[in-house]
Every structure is written in structure tokens, then in C-alpha cells.
Chains A and B, each alone.
Chain A
Amino acid sequence: GNSVTQMEGPVTLSEEAFLTINCTYTATGYPSLFWYVQYPGEGLQLLLKATKADDKGSNKGFEATYRKETTSFHLEKGSVQVSDSAVYFCALQTGANNLFFGTGTRLTVIP
């Protein structure tokens, strides 16, 4: 079956710290992989995506590389800001167009 396991939070970092949120997946076939972000009181926004092995998705300083050999799609950012405080969701999409989400990781960045 299809499933996503992501690092449980909450994660609290100081401003300018390095961020890694781990995400691993189980899927039949060759899924596309996504990171979505939900800022406080807001909806889901697509942060980045990768559609095939070794692809790197990037946006707003965040990056994630599709690693087929380790079935992972870890989210990284070199220097977080207070405005990055949000809940981050890793997700995979199969050919049926259904998105399977991880449980979300809450990130809090303190000044």
C-alpha cells in the first residue's frame, strides 16, 4: 500500500538554524512526492515537489531530493526564519491522483 512517515514534532529551532524534517514513504509504482506547508490559521500551500528519482524540488530556500534507494524525501533549509513557523506535510501521489499525507510536523522558529 501507500503511506508516508514523517518526523514527529514539534520541532523548535532558533532563527538561522539548519532545518531537516525527515520523510520516508512506501508506495506501489513510482509516485510523485510533495511537501505542503500550512501556516497558522491558513490553508495548505504547495511548497515543492519532485516527480522522479533524483529530482530535487526547491522553493523559498527549502529543498528536498527524491531518493528512491532510501525511499526518502527529506525537507531541508539552511537558515530558518521566524516566518517559516508552520506545519509541514510530506505527501505522495500515485497514478490515481490521490494524495497520501504524513501526519505533519509542526515547526516553531524562535528569534
Chain B
Amino acid sequence: DTAVSQTPKYLVTQMGNDKSIKCEQNLGHDTMYWYKQDSKKFLKIMFSYNNKELIINETVPNRFSPKSPDKAHLNLHINSLELGDSAVYFCASSDEGTGNTIYFGEGSWLTVV
């Protein structure tokens, strides 16, 4: 049973396209996140939602729009994709009940060509 699952795992798309990455967690956690890992493996938070409400919104282009239909899902939509958006995107979740330890999904490898 995958705790934090995200789809697709691999995505190759052309510049200018719009794409979405979906994330679901079955842990009952209240907080979900999106992190970006660049080509140098550097990891940085993009967004954080708690019970469907936006908590953290780092300096991210507004082409990136997170959507949380319920507390178990946090999808990432990206408009007008650019070459620099190529990265690995990680969904994650946490909860006070687990000491706020953050658990990550397996990542989505996005390549923009």
C-alpha cells in the first residue's frame, strides 16, 4: 500500500504545454506539500496545504497552481511549460500525530523539450 502516491512518474512534454501531476495520500494526514528537486539535486519547498488551505507559498512562478480538492489530494498544474521547469517534483504529507515527520512520494520526473 503506497502511502503517498503521485502520477505520472515520468512525463516528457513540449514547451508551452499545460500539464498536471496528481498526488494522493492514504495516511490521513492533514498537511500536504510539493517540493522541487533541480538538476543539481537541490530540494526546495514550493507549496504547503493544511486541510485544503494554502499555508506555504514560496516564490514560484504563477504558472504553477496547486489544487487541493480534499485533504487527501494535492495536485500540481503547470501552465505554459518552460525548459527550466524540467525537474523532479515530490509530493509529501505530514501530520501532528506522527510528530510532523514529512513523508514523500516517489517523485515525478518532468522533462520539457
Classify the interface of chain B: helix, strand, loop or mixed. Answer: strand
- From residue A38, how far is it (CB to closest CB) to chain B in Å? 8
Q: How many residues of A contact B (CB 8 A)?
A: 22
Please tell me if B101 contacts chain A, counting CB pairs below 8 Å.
yes
Contact among B43, B100, B103, B104 for A93, CB-based, below 8 A: B100
- From residue B11, how far is it (CB to closest CB) to chain A in Å? 15
- From residue B93, how far is it (CB to closest CB) to chain A in Å? 11
Q: Given the complex, which residues of A lie within 8 Å of B83, measured CB to CB? A: none
B106 in contact with A104 (CB, 8 Å): no
Q: Given the complex, which residues of B lie within 8 Å of A51, measured CB to CB? A: 99
Q: Could you tell me the distance between the alpha carbons of A97 and B100 in the complex, rounded to whole angstroms?
A: 7
Residues of A within 8 A of B (CB): 32, 34, 36, 38, 42-46, 49, 51, 87, 89, 93, 96-99, 101, 103-104, 106
